[in-house]
Amino acid sequence: MAQYHNRIPVILPLDKEQVWLNPEFNNPVLLKGLLKPLPTQFIEVQKVMDILGA
């Protein structure tokens, strides 16, 4: 990803989405544990218009 962008978005598996979005869940250790890179086989790079700046 680094060759395309200097940041990578957090992409959560569906089974972790509700934990991430739950405002009552505030265990920083567990929440940080959800921040794992998406395996590259699930990433597809697509060219966008230069005007978008991406």
Per the model's pLDDT, the better-predicted residue between 3 and 36 turns out to be 36
| Beta carbons of 29 and 35 less than 8 angstroms apart | no
Q: Evaluate if residue 7 carries a pLDDT over 90.
A: no
Q: Evaluate if residue 52 carries a pLDDT over 70.
A: no
- Average pLDDT (11-35) is 90
Closest by Cα among 38, 47, 39 to 4? 47
Query: What percent of the chain is predicted at pLDDT more than 70?
Result: 83
pTM over 0.85: no
Residue ranges of alpha helices (H) inside the chain are 14-21, 28-33
Q: Evaluate if residue 32 carries a pLDDT over 70.
A: yes
**How high is the pLDDT of residue 2?**
67
